[in-house]
Chain A
Amino acid sequence: MQVSPPRSLTELFLGFLSIGARSFGGVMPWAHRVMVEERRWVDEADFAETIGLCQFLPGPNVGNASIVYGKRWFGLSGALVAFLGLFALPFVWVLALFALYADFATTNATLRAVVTGVGAAGAGLFIGTAVKLGRVLARRPAALALIAACFLAAGIGRVSLFIVLPIAFAAALVCARKGWI
């Protein structure tokens, strides 16, 4: 596949703006559609590799990808422009939606019930994602033990992530080096 990176900052900005504007139900599929299929800035393998890195890094995945690609093509101004393009519209929309909601929710119990239902369904999507990703790992007992330990500590025990993460990461790194996960 012939790929050609964006030629100007404007093009970079508009590309990421259209990712942000359309990303109902998740950003990743739209990032793929815009960058790989529509604008052909990068190929499939490049996209997968970069997203893989961004999933391992802290921070929002596609947000990080906007930094990595922006830097690659235009340096610091590219990273800033791509990031701002990605967040500009969703930021405005989410605040507008929330303001609208807050206005009505104080008097309307049904609306509160609907939105709480949406929240519970969103929680379910997280659980589904955890199951989907976990199925691949679950064949290794050590991986299963790590998943369970993190869930018990952070989810049930409500221990701070600032304590859970360093301990879990050290333990997981030992397991990984020994080939257990």
Chain B
Amino acid sequence: MILLELTLYFMLLSLISVGGMPSVLPELQRYVVDVKGWVSAQEFIQIFAVGQAAPGPNVLIASLVGWKVGGLPGALLALAGMCGPAAVLAWWVADLWERFKGSPWRTAIQRAIAPIVVGLIGSGGYILATPGAPDWRLWAIAVASAAGMLGSKLNPLWFLAAGGALGAFLLD
């Protein structure tokens, strides 16, 4: 029953995941932590961390949530749910999108989505850096890595590694 609920939820989430996984992280966290209590806020940031550090699309965070809830079947169903509906949409829209090249509505939709995605990705960052009560140490690590990313062209893995080192130093 819980697997059905999980799969249906990810299928719905898939359809609104404009901008990919980063945009829906606030919603995912709200649902699995606040509403369902399937994982704790601290576990959620660790799931996210493992998902970021491993290679691959960050949508795999969904499969880790699924794993936590229902083992391997949960992981597979969560990933399929998160990707399936969006993939079907991509299948149908790809040709349509090509046909409407230069249409004012296509331009309007593209312009409209951009600021929403920015606001949601920012929300995702804020929520992940604030599991539970505000903690200056997590915020310091987040701000440092944001600044590093904006000021250099290094592979993001370096900032994750630095975050891990700072974590051992500040949080242990």
Which residues of A come within 8 Å of B, CB atoms?
20-27, 52-64, 67-68, 71-72, 79, 83, 86-87, 89-91, 93-95, 97-98, 101, 105, 109-110, 112-134, 137, 143-144, 146-151, 154-156, 158, 160-162, 165, 168-169, 172-173, 175-177, 181
Contact = CB atoms under 8 A, between A and B. Distances in A.
Contacts of A130: 118-119, 121-122, 125
B102 interface: no
Given A86-B57, A91-B79, A168 B116 contact: yes
A119 B94 contact: no
Given A137-B114, A137-B118, A155-B123, A114 B168 contact: yes
Given A121-B142, A172-B111, A172-B116, 14 more contacts: A20-B57, A63-B59, A79-B91, A83-B83, A110-B172, A117-B163, A124-B144, A128-B148, A133-B118, A134-B122, A137-B115, A150-B123, A161-B26, A173-B112
A125 B46 contact: no
Interface string B103-130: 0100111111111111111111111110
B77 interface: no
Nearest to A175: B112
30 contacts: A27-B56, A27-B57, A59-B83, A63-B59, A72-B94, A90-B55, A93-B55, A95-B64, A95-B75, A109-B172, A115-B46, A116-B167, A118-B53, A122-B48, A122-B163, A123-B128, A124-B147, A127-B125, A128-B148, A128-B149, A129-B125, A131-B122, A144-B115, A147-B122, A149-B119, A150-B119, A150-B123, A161-B23, A168-B119, A173-B109
B133 interface: no
B108 A120 contact: no
A116 B60 contact: no
Given A20-B56, A116-B49, A91 B63 contact: yes
Nearest to B111: A176
Interface of B: 12, 14-27, 30-31, 34, 42, 45-60, 63-64, 67, 72, 75, 79, 82-83, 85-87, 89-91, 93-94, 97, 104, 107-129, 137-139, 141-150, 155-157, 159-168, 170-172
A121 B163 contact: yes
A157 B127 CA distance: 11
B50 A115 contact: yes
Contacts of B90: 54, 57, 59, 64, 67-68
Contact of A56 (B52, B110, B125): B110
B168 A94 contact: no
Contact of A161 (B16, B21, B114): B16
